[in-house]
Chain A
C-alpha cells in the first residue's frame, strides 16, 4: 500500500491533533477506508497512542476500517424519511443485495450504509449513490437505480 498520501494529508493539517477527525476523513476519501498502516502512521506523526486513534476511528459512524465497495449506497432512515417509507426501501435493498447495512457485496460492487438524515428531508425518502442524491424513492425505483449502476461494471478489479 502506498502511504505517501497519509504523509501529505497530515502535512496539510499541520500535524494538528485538533484536525484528527478531518485527517481521518481525508484518508478515508483517498483510500475509501481507514487502513491500519495509515492509522499507525497518523499515530506516530501526531505523537498519539494508536489505541486512542482506534477509539476515535470506531466512535464516529462515518469511518470504516474495512474496504468499501465500488459504489456506495446510502439510505436515509431519518424521521422524515422513516415516516415516508424508508424502512420498506431498506427491506428491499437487503433482499436485493443480500447484505446488511454496513456490509459490502462479495463482488465488491456495492456497500450499503444507513444514516440518520442526509439533510434533504423535504423530498424523502432519500437515497444517495456515490454522493448523488435521489429523492422520493420507493422500493422499485431503488432497485432500478442499483441495477442501472450494476451495469456500469467496467474496469473493476477483484
Chain B
C-alpha cells in the first residue's frame, strides 16, 4: 500500500486501481455476510479459489471477491458473476465446479441456481429483476456487493475517499455543516435527531479536545443493518467520521461495537489500520494539516449501552449506566469533553451527501425525512433480509412488494418496528408511509430499523410480555420506576398469559405503563411501555380472550393451549418422527394420538403436518 500525501496522489492511486481492475475479465463475488456464513459460504469461496487455480484460465483473468452482506440473506449463499451479472442463490460447495465449467467457461446459465419468483414461477437471472431488489434504493448498502471489505483498494476504486478530499480542500468546516443541515439528514439510531444541528452544537461547544463516537451497539433485537454496514463497507463509516471530525473540530474518534459482532470488530480494525497506513487517518491527513484518529471500543452485551450517556460510561471503562441529560453530551460527554455521537448508518450517509450534494439527498424521501433507510425485514415474511428503501415508501410496499408477503399461506397480522422502544402496527395500517413522524404517530417509532413481521400464529400478548421481560432484564437498575415498574408489568403479563387475569388487570397495566413512561430517567424506561400500549391499542381483544375466555387465539401461550390430532390424520408418521418428547403414538396409516402428559407443546408436529391435522386449542 502506498502512503498518500496529497489529494492528487489519491486520484492517481484510484486511476491505477481502476486500470488494474479493468484487466479482470470476470469477477466472481461470493457473499460473506453472517447469514451466508451460516449456510456455508466459506466453503463455497474456498472451492472457487481451488477451482480457479486448478483450471488455470490461461486466456481469462478471474478475480474472486469475498464481499460483505448483500441483503438477501434468506437465499444465501449468494454468488454473482460479472460481467454477465448472473445472480445465483443457495449455492453449495458441490455446485462450484459446475459454475466454473458452465457459466465461467462457456457463459451458460445454470437454471437450477437461479432465483424463482414464487408467484410467476419464472426464473430470474439478474439481481436487478428480482422483486426483492427491484423496489429498493441501495445508496448506502449498494457498494457492499462491489467491494471486498478488507481491501482498501476496492473502496478507493469505487470512488472512496473522494468526498473526504472534497471536504478537506474545497469546503470550510461551516460549509460542511451547512450542507449536512440542508440535506435534512436525521440520525438513523432511533430518535431521528437532525445530524447537522448536532454537529453545529458540538462545533460551537467550548473545549480544545472533542470526541466523535460511532454507535454500533445495535442492541435492538431483530436488527442487523449496522453490523452489515460496518462489516461490509467499513471505510464508508470511517470516511463519514473523518469528514465529521473535520467539520466539528474533533480530534479523536471511537467506534463502539458490541462484542457479539466479532467480524465487524475485525473488519473495522483492519480498515482503520489501512487508512492509517495510507495517510487517511492520523497526523496531517492528505497533507491538509488536519489530525484525526479512530479506535475501537468493545461493548459487553448490554442493551442500555446503546443509549448515548451509558455508552460513554462504558467507553470510560465503567458500568454502563445512563445519566440525566440536562447537560447534553455535545457539551459534556466522554471524559467530560464535547462529544458527538452518531449511528453507523448516519455516518455512512455523510460521504454520499458530500459527494452528490445536499439537494440531491433532499430530493429523496418525504418532507421531513430525507434519504433512504435500511431495514432488517425479518420474522414471518417470505423474503427476509436487509432492505434499503427511500423514506416515505409504504409498509405494504416493503412487506408485500419486497418481502413477498406471508409464508405458507398464512395471514400477516402486524409488523413490529422500533425494537423495544417501538410498537406493533396492525396490518390495517399498512398503507402508512414509513418515515420518522408517521411511525411515531401510530404509537411506534423508526428505531434503528428492525421490522419484524408477525402472522396469525404470533400472540400479541406474548410479544408484549417478551418486550417487557427483555427491558426488565436490560434495565440497569439505577432508577426505581424502570427497575420495579417493569418487573411488576412483567408479572401482570405473565399472569394474563397463564390465565390469571381479571377485570382490573388491564387497567392496572395501563396505569403502570403511564407511570413508568413518565418518570424513568433515560430513554429505555421512558419508551418501555410502548410495546404494551401499542398492543393494547390495536389488539385488545386478544388480551381479553386470555383474560375472560382463558384462551390464546394464536395458540402460543402454553398454559392455555392443548395439542391434539384430528380425523384428518393420514397416519404418515411425520409428526412422531419429529416429536422430541416421543409423545405421539399410532400405527402407520392410522390416526395418531398425542400423549398429553408427555407433550411439551413445542409445536414441531404442527409444523410438519401436511394434512393440517394437528389442532391447537
Partner-B contacts on A (CB < 8 A): 16-22, 24-25, 52, 55-56, 59-63, 78-80, 82-85, 88, 91-92, 95-96, 115-124, 126, 133-135, 138-140, 143
The smallest C-beta distance from B507 to any residue of chain A, in angstroms, reads 27
Complex CA–CA separation, A9 to B257 (angstroms): 19
Binary interface encoding of chain B residues 566-584 relative to chain A, with 1 for a CB under 8 A from any of its CBs, else 0: 0000000000001111000
Q: A59-B302, A120-B73 are in contact. Are A25 and B452 (CB under 8 A)?
A: no
A46 CA / B419 CA spacing, docked (Å)? 37
A134 vs B607: C-alpha distance in the bound complex, in angstroms? 19
What would be 20 A-B contacts, judged by CB atoms less than 8 Å apart?
Answer: A17-B316, A21-B259, A24-B300, A59-B476, A60-B302, A62-B260, A79-B452, A83-B452, A84-B379, A92-B602, A116-B303, A118-B260, A119-B218, A119-B260, A122-B35, A122-B224, A123-B39, A139-B578, A139-B604, A140-B604
* Chain A residue, CB-CB nearest to B531: A79
With a cutoff of 8 Å between Cβ atoms, the chain B residues found around residue A85 in the complex are: 603, 607
> At the interface, yes or no: B219 with Cβ under 8 Å from chain A?
yes
Chain A residues in 8 Å Cβ range of B222: 78-80, 117, 121
Residues of B within 8 A of A139 (CB): 578, 580, 602, 604
Which stretch in B113-121, B275-283, B317-325, B534-542 binds the other chain? B317-325
* B604:A138 contact, CB within 8 angstroms: yes
Cβ A116 vs Cβ B221 within 8 A: yes
Minimum C-beta distance from B477 to chain A (A): 9
How far apart sit A102 and B39, CA to CA, in the bound complex (Å)? 27
Q: What CA separation (Å) do A139 and B315 show in the bound complex? A: 39
Write out the residue numbers on chain A whose beta carbons fall within 8 Å of the beta carbon of B34.
119-120, 133
Q: Given the complex of chains A and B, what is the CA–CA distance between A92 and B602 in angstroms?
A: 8
Bound-complex Cα distance A91 to B601 (A): 9
B133 in contact (CB, < 8 A): no
Q: In the complex, what residues of B have CB within 8 A of residue A116's CB?
A: 219, 221, 303, 470, 474
Interface residues of B (CB under 8 A from A): 34-35, 37-39, 73-74, 76, 218-224, 227, 259-261, 297-303, 314-320, 376-380, 384-386, 416, 419, 450, 452, 454, 458, 463, 466-467, 470, 474, 476, 578-581, 600-604, 607
Q: Report chain A residues within 8 Å CB of B227.
A: 119
Q: Once bound together, how far apart are the Cα atoms of A133 and B34, in whole Å? A: 8
Please indicate which of the listed interface residues A79, A85, A115, A143 has the most CB atoms of chain B within 10 Å of its own CB.
Answer: A79
Among the listed B314, B318, B452, B607, which residue makes an inter-chain contact with A80, where contact means beta carbons less than 8 Å apart? B452
Q: Which residues of A contact B317 (CB under 8 A)?
A: 16-21, 56
Question: CA of A138 to CA of B319 in the docked complex: distance in angstroms?
Answer: 36
Q: How far is the CB of A125 from chain B (nearest CB, A)?
A: 11
Report yes or no: A61 in contact with B378, Cβ–Cβ below 8 A: no
Q: How far is the CA of A85 from the CA of B303 in the complex (A)?
A: 22
Residue pair A140, B300 in contact (C-beta under 8 Å): no
Chain A residues lying within 8 Å of B73, measured Cβ to Cβ, are 120, 122-123
Contact indicator A133/B37 (Cβ below 8 Å): yes
| Contact B600–A92 (Cβ < 8 Å) | yes
Closest approach, in angstroms, between the C-beta of A152 and any C-beta of chain B? 19
The residue on B at minimum CB distance from A85 is: B603
Answer whether A22 and B452 are a contact pair too, CB < 8 Å, given A91-B602, A121-B376.
no
Q: Specify which of B37, B454, B466 lies most central, judged by the most chain A CB atoms within 10 Å of its CB.
A: B466
Q: Which residues of B contact A21 (CB under 8 A)?
A: 259, 297-300, 314, 317
Of B35, B221, B318, the contact of A56 (CB 8 Å cutoff): B318
Residue of B nearest to A143 (CB): B580
List chain B residues, Cβ under 8 A from A122.
Answer: 35, 73-74, 224, 376-378, 384-386
The complex places the Cα of A120 from the Cα of B302 at a distance, in Å, of: 18
* In the bound complex, CA of A120 to CA of B262 (Å): 13
The answer to whether A61 and B580 touch across the interface, beta carbons within 8 angstroms, is: no
Task: Report A-chain residues with C-beta under 8 Å of the C-beta of B297.
Answer: 18, 21-22
B contact residues around A133 at 8 Å (CB) = 34, 37-38
* Sample of 10 further A-B pairs with CB below 8 A, known A116-B303, A117-B220, A120-B34: A17-B317, A21-B298, A22-B298, A56-B319, A63-B300, A80-B379, A82-B466, A120-B38, A122-B74, A135-B35
Chain B positions within 8 Å of A24 at CB level? 300
A52 to B218: give the CA distance in the assembly, Å. Answer: 26
Point out the residues of chain A lying under 8 angstroms from B579, CB to CB.
140
Q: How far is the CA of A117 from the CA of B259 in the complex (A)?
A: 12
A141 to chain B, nearest CB (A): 9
Q: Give Cα A137 to B314, complex, Å.
A: 34
Tell me, in angstroms, the Cα distance from A17 to B317 when the chains sit together.
6
User: How long is the Cα–Cα vector from A95 to B582 in the complex, in angstroms?
Assistant: 13
Complex contacts, A61 vs chain B, CB 8 Å: 300-302
Do A140 and B578 touch (CB < 8 A)? yes
Contact flag A25-B219 (CB < 8 Å), given A62-B301, A80-B379, A83-B458: no
Chain B residues positioned under 8 Å from A124 (CB to CB): 378-379
Distance A16 CA – B76 CA, assembled complex (angstroms): 41
User: Does B39 lie within 8 Å of A135, measured CB to CB?
Assistant: yes
Indicate if the CB atoms of B466 and A79 lie closer than 8 Å. yes
State how many angstroms separate the Cβ of B572 from the closest Cβ of chain A. 16
